Amino acid sequence: MLLDNGTIRTMDRAVPTAVRLAIDGDRIVAQSGEGRTPVDLGGRCVVPGFTDSHVHFPTWAVARSQVRLEGCRSRQEAVERVRSAAATAPPGRWLIGYGWRNGDWEDPAEPTRHDLDPFTGNTPVALWSRDDHSLWLNSVALAMARPDDLAAPGGVVGRDDAGQPTGLLGEQAAWTYRRHIVISDGEYLDAMRDGIAAAHRRGVTAVHDKDGWIGSPRMWQRLHEQGELSLRVWQSLPIEHLDLLVTLGIRSGVGDEWFRLGYLKIFMDGSLGSETAAMLDGSGVTITTETELVEAITRSTAAGWPVAVHAIGDAANRAAVDGMTATAGLWRAAGMRQRIEHAQCVDPTDVTRFAAIGLAASVQFSHAPSDRDLVDRHWADREGAYAYRALADAGVVLANGSDAPVEELDPLAGIVAAVRRTLDHRPPWRPEQALTVEQALIATTVGPAWLSGDENRRGRLIPGHLADLVVLDTDPVTVDPGALAEVEVVATMVGGRWVHNPPPWD
């Protein structure tokens, strides 16, 4: 196959652009197009396949058909959406919702079970906040909680004046409770099949999945066995699995070109939306201390596992960088690619410390315009909030993700957010932290491939690399910035096979 008559953005510094691309089997080749089937790009642009570097894929896939609470401007609006869904909910099944954020409401008071009880009857209701760090339950669902759910270390339990649980659980309390919410593997698999197709429509060819804690490896494996896996998956597992992995002698990288167990995830703090991010002013929730992180990194490195450290607040990011610095001699000698997830608020004095030890920032460009009002309310004096340009200028490897279902799995929207620092009618927010289109593309292609150790086979369109690519209707690098949001995915290829909208195109 020969893709011709367009712009090929290779993401390779030696030859940034080309006019044609030859493909043989699942690889890009250097030979001429002689004897190859021509594909007329018609002036379109080809870029490497997009990687979503932070996605809870099964959770996002299922959430696409759950009660959606994003965009609610009041508690009553959220309650009405749940009331409407409850009226047709199958008896005996959980009613699950996603996406509320009381910080967006006219009255930001925390919701309670009493808001839901009048119309939910015996149906258990569980509503996840947009940041996935808080869980809003009705009384039926709350009654299922065990004492260890409410007493989980690092957990937050809302209580009324009488000391009784209000139905709002946060952090570890919410995550521990999640075991009661029953979603079958069949439901997950059906949703993931649809989710894979949706991801391909948005140019996604690989993901770094964060749902290892719910058993997503077995789900990916099932899809793989059935020949339905057309995404390349770099899978995280909870740090709590480390002892079992050591016992079994399993090291990072086990798997094949489609699915590999990759890294361990550990939480330092909570989130901005739930007001549990650990800050230098002493506010927030600390889930893992620096001392505990050093121990975890040391043990993980010895066992052959890199780690991804969730850090939102500036205190959490400092502790994470301190822990990574203290252990850098070990993990760098072992060739680990370590990462901080989110890095949402990094004190300016800590920015250069990422690059100094080769620590990557796995960020979500769409979070900046989405969270701007919360940042202005809670972190207005923190210049290091969502400071992507500062990180890039310091030489930090950036990897872009969505954190779906927190934001929608849509890499082009993330690129727009990085470049324009707005996704609505409002002017750019903190525009000094904007990236160039090239920087945003690199963070969505090259950076993620490096993190998973695939820099010699993915992320660039050069001979010998896998033919994972996206055809766009317009070159995003040369388009007017005001029209960047109008760039669309035309087709997606994975391993030399069209997985979305094969040619010819009109």
Q: What is the pLDDT of residues 233-292, one digit of tens each?
A: 999 999 999 999 999 999 999 999 999 999 999 999 999 988 999 999 999 999 999 999
Q: What is the pLDDT of residue 152?
A: 84
* pLDDT band (50, 70, 90) for residue 183: confident
**3-state DSSP percent of the chain in helix, strand and coil, to 5:** 35, 25, 40
Beta strands in 16-81 (DSSP E): 17-24, 27-29, 38-40, 45-48, 50-55, 67-68
Domain ranges of the chain: 2-47+465-500, 66-180
Assigned CATH topology for domain 66-180: Diaminopimelate Epimerase; Chain A, domain 1 (3.10.310)
Q: Which residues pair with 233 in a beta bridge?
A: 207, 259
Closest CA to 177 of 147, 139, 222, 217: 147
Q: Report how far residue 48's alpha carbon sits from residue 461's, in angstroms, rounded to the nearest whole number.
A: 6
Partners of residue 342 on adjacent β-strands: 311
Mean pLDDT over the full length of the chain: 95
Taking the C-alpha atoms of residue 448 and residue 465, their distance in angstroms, rounded to an integer, is 15
Q: Which CATH superfamily is domain 2-47+465-500 in?
A: Urease, subunit C, domain 1 (2.30.40.10)
**What's the average model confidence in pLDDT over 76-103?**
90
Give the model confidence (pLDDT) of 447-484 as tens digits.
Answer: 999 999 999 999 999 999 999 999 999 999 999 989 99
What local confidence, expressed as pLDDT, does residue 175 receive? 86
Q: Are strands 45-48 and 469-472 parallel, antiparallel or unpaired?
A: antiparallel
The residue assigned the tokens 């210049």 is 383
What CA–CA distance (Å, rounded) separates 254 from 99?
Answer: 34
Q: How far apart are the first and last CA of the chain?
A: 19
- pLDDT over 80 at 31, yes or no: no
Q: If you ran DSSP here, which 8-state letter would residue 386 be given?
A: T
Examine the pLDDT at 34 and tell me if it is beyond 80.
no
What's the pLDDT at 33?
63
- Written as six digits, the tokens of 358 are 């080769």
pLDDT bucket at 179, cuts 50 / 70 / 90: confident
pLDDT at 91 over 80: no
Structure tokens belonging to residue 451: 């993190």
Task: Read off the pLDDT band of 36 (50, 70, 90).
Answer: confident
Contact 238, 176 (CB under 8 A): no
